[in-house]
């Protein structure tokens, strides 16, 4: 394989993305692949500053449109500065969240109209799209319990009301239903071992598919 590809891990907070991502990184490295881990919001120096603003629980007055455009700005920088160069170098990019999160949180949960979301996201993507979105699906109430059990404070989005988080979860499931070729949903309420097993099956299938296309 001389060209990279990108896999996004997304879904409810507390679903175990960090643990799964680290395990997938080790798995891919064991297969001789070069892996780059990144995240959204964030991923670049500019993006990390934007992340601090977006997730700061002390900024509840942020308007929905400001939030959307900050996500878009961070994504545009992320793609140009980090993702495209990594893919061009043949690396496997694994991102903790990407544009599916924008549709889930800003459209399905916030209620911003879909046309506006698409316009902002298309400007940021500039024709780019990840190869696969793996959604770690979990009841938001259970996810919140897991986050709180770590003893960490909640960020601005995690601290939203339950119905907001439920709408966001349903947004991920709706996207997966509409684009089954670009999404895989994994039941994150299973044991860590079973979740990782299911994820590795998706990764292997993606590797085989991409290899077949390049032969």
pLDDT tens-digit readout, 121-160: 999 999 999 999 999 999 998 988 887 787 666 777 877 7
Residue found by looking up tokens 């500065």 in the block: 81
Q: Do the beta carbons of residue 37 and residue 25 sit within 8 Å?
A: yes
**pLDDT mean over 2-31:** 93
The average confidence (pLDDT) of the chain is 93
- The whole-angstrom distance between residue 84's C-alpha and the CA centroid of its chain comes to 17
d(CA 143, CA 135) in angstroms, rounded, equals 14
At 210 the pLDDT is 77
At 209 the pLDDT is 83
Task: State how far the alpha carbon of 32 is from the alpha carbons of 29, 91, 134, in Å.
Answer: 5, 11, 22
At 95 the pLDDT is 98
Q: Which residues contact 179 (CB under 8 A, 6 or more apart)?
A: none
Q: Do the beta carbons of residue 70 and residue 51 sit within 8 Å?
A: no
Q: Is the pLDDT confidence value at 18 over 70?
A: yes
- Specify the fold of 5-214: Rossmann fold (3.40.50)
Q: Which residues contact 136 (CB under 8 A, 6 or more apart)?
A: 9, 10, 11, 12, 15, 16, 17, 20, 186, 188, 195
d(CA 202, CA 184) in angstroms, rounded, equals 8
Task: Enumerate the domain spans of the chain.
Answer: 5-214
Q: Is the pLDDT confidence value at 1 over 50?
A: no
Q: Is the pLDDT confidence value at 211 over 70?
A: no
Q: Where are the alpha helices (DSSP H) in the chain?
A: 17-30, 45-55, 64-78, 84-88, 99-102, 114-125, 140-149, 162-178, 192-214
Tell me the pLDDT tens digit for each residue of 52-67.
999 998 887 899 999 9
**This prediction's pTM:** 0.93
């Amino acid at each position: 394989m001389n060209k990279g590809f990108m896999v996004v891990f997304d879904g409810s907070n507390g679903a175990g993305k960090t643990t799964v991502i680290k395990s997938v990184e080790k798995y891919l490295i064991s297969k001789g692949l070069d892996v780059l881990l990144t995240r959204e919001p964030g991923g670049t120096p500019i993006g990390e500053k934007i992340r601090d603003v977006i997730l700061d629980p002390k900024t509840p007055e942020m308007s929905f449109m400001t939030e959307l455009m900050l996500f878009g700005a961070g994504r545009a920088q992320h793609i140009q500065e980090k993702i495209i160069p990594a893919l061009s170098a043949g690396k496997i990019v694994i991102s903790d969240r990407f544009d599916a999160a924008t549709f889930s949180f800003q459209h399905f949960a916030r209620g911003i109209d879909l046309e506006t979301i698409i316009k902002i996201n298309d400007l940021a993507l500039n024709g780019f799209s990840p190869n696969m979105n793996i959604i770690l699906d979990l009841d938001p109430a259970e996810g919140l319990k897991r986050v709180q059990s770590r003893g960490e404070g909640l960020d601005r989005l995690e601290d939203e009301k339950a119905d907001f988080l439920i709408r966001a979860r349903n947004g991920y499931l709706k996207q997966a239903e509409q684009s089954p070729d670009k999404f895989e949903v994994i039941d994150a309420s299973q044991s860590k071992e079973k979740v990782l097993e299911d994820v590795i099956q998706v990764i292997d299938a993606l590797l085989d598919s991409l290899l077949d296309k390049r032969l």
